[in-house]
Amino acid sequence: MSALKRFFKDTAIYGITTVLARFISFILVPLHTAAMGTVDYSGVTEFFVYAAFLNVLLSYGMETAFFRFFNTHKEKDTVYTTALISLTVSTILFFIGVWIFKDQLADLIKVDRYYFKILVGITALDALVVAPFAYLRAKNRPIRFAGVKLTNIAIVGFVNLFFLWIIPEFSLEFSFYNKEELLQYVFWANLSASAVTLILLFPLFFKLKLVFDTGLFRKLLSYGWPILVAGLAFVINENLDKLMLQEMIDEDTMGAYAGCYKIAVFMTIFIQGFRLGAEPFFFSHAKSDNAVENYATILKYFVIAGGLGLLIICCFIDPLKNFIVRDTAYHKAIDIVPIVLLANLCLGIYHNLSIWYKLTDKTRYGMYISIIGAIITIAFNWIMIPKIGFIASAWATLAAYGGMMIISYQLGKKHYPVPYDLKKIGFYLALAIGLSAVSFIQFRENYWLASAFVLVFLGAVFLIEKKELKSILN
């Protein structure tokens, strides 16, 4: 039980950091949607879709590979410096190569040349800090990790607020300010935050003697390249629907869809915070006597917490909608939210289940599963968007993540059996989905009944898990 306590403690710290990061995003959604129409907001979404692709490409699975070998290799410092040198050199080469052909590449992907330069700068800076951030997590330094992340968050929030609200609200006059081009300030906020993050983590580039182990590098690359392919497939699952809506319907619809998609940010916060604490824990405790039992317990409570989040958001979606996305032009896409929430919960379960191929060094299976998910995403959107409109993209996301979850579980039973309590997990998942559906479809804005549904779910969890919960809390 002490291992679980450590897991929950570290995950809580990472989770708080992630909550605050997403809370800034949460605040910025009403700011962005109030300052920009759906068409302009589609530009923000498109920019960060490309950023997501580049982030995965530039890290090429090295972060996960680092955790795997950091916990098994005798020379742990060499694992860090090898990964650090690899990522630094590849990022510099990428930046030089792309910068030489920046105008041609910008025209190729139909992104404004000025914005493309900012995009390249952000992704290069973010790639340079992948190894230092992973090192802090591997060394159980969540406080320092959180401090740097919070600084990044504060800068992003302040720059956005200054240019999109303070200047127009108080009619401030600056020669460099262009009220007709507000998009650039959203991107400059991220560029400045990424630059400061690199400065704060720069001492970790020289903390240890820089040693590059060629043999170890080949092992890291062999382990990591399927993670790269899986990551690219994941970005397709997460973002291609927005680009397809833009092309197959219009920018206005894509902007509304992307705005309402942000309401599911709470589930994303939970999943991201969980992953930050879970990945190093899973690797470091793989050889403990009760490892698989702990993994099973963690998944159960993940489903409980995720199910509760799904239920609360579905029950109180209208006040959340009016607070997060205030412009009613976005509300036409509100029906996607419960579907996207459930899809992200399936994705979180998949991340839990995926530990089997990471611990057995069979990362190629993660690649295969993610590719299947990407194929489902592309095919479903391509066939169904013309028939049922933007709601097809939400269903495609659920189909992709749900399918990945089921496939991973079936393969995991064979390669790395974990005694998951399927009866309890299935019950909590079904209860959360059922209550959420009834509230959203039949009793919208009935907040007394919504509160009762939440209490029913919590009561069921307490009655079933009270002994184990007391043990963990004590």
Q: What is the pTM of this model?
A: 0.74
Domain ranges of the chain: 2-473
Q: How many CB atoms lie within 10 A of CB 319?
A: 10
Q: What is the secondary structure of 98-137 as a DSSP string?
A: HHHTHHHHHHHTT--HHHHHHHHHHHHHHHHTHHHHHHHH
Query: Residue 17 CA to chain centroid, in angstroms?
Result: 13
In one letter, which amino acid is 129? V
CA atoms within 13 A on the CB side of 330: 30
Rounded to whole angstroms, the Cα distance separating 40 from 32 reads 9
Query: Residue 135 CA to chain centroid, in angstroms?
Result: 20
Supply the mean pLDDT for the chain. Answer: 85
The predicted pLDDT at position 89 comes to: 97
- pLDDT tens for 37-79 read 666 666 677 787 889 889 999 999 899 899 889 877 888 899 9
Phi, psi torsion values for 275, nearest 5 degrees: -65, -40
State what percent of residues in the chain have pLDDT above 90: 42
Rounded to whole angstroms, the Cα distance separating 158 from 37 reads 21
- pLDDT tens for 151-181 read 998 899 899 889 988 988 888 888 888 887 7
- Is the pLDDT at 426 greater than 50? The verdict is yes
CB of 369 within 8 A of CB of 230? yes
CA atoms within 13 A on the CB side of 21: 21
State what percent of residues in the chain have pLDDT above 70: 87
Rounded to whole angstroms, the Cα distance separating 429 from 307 reads 6
In this prediction, residue 428 has a pLDDT band, given cuts at 50, 70 and 90, of very high
The predicted pLDDT at position 29 comes to: 66
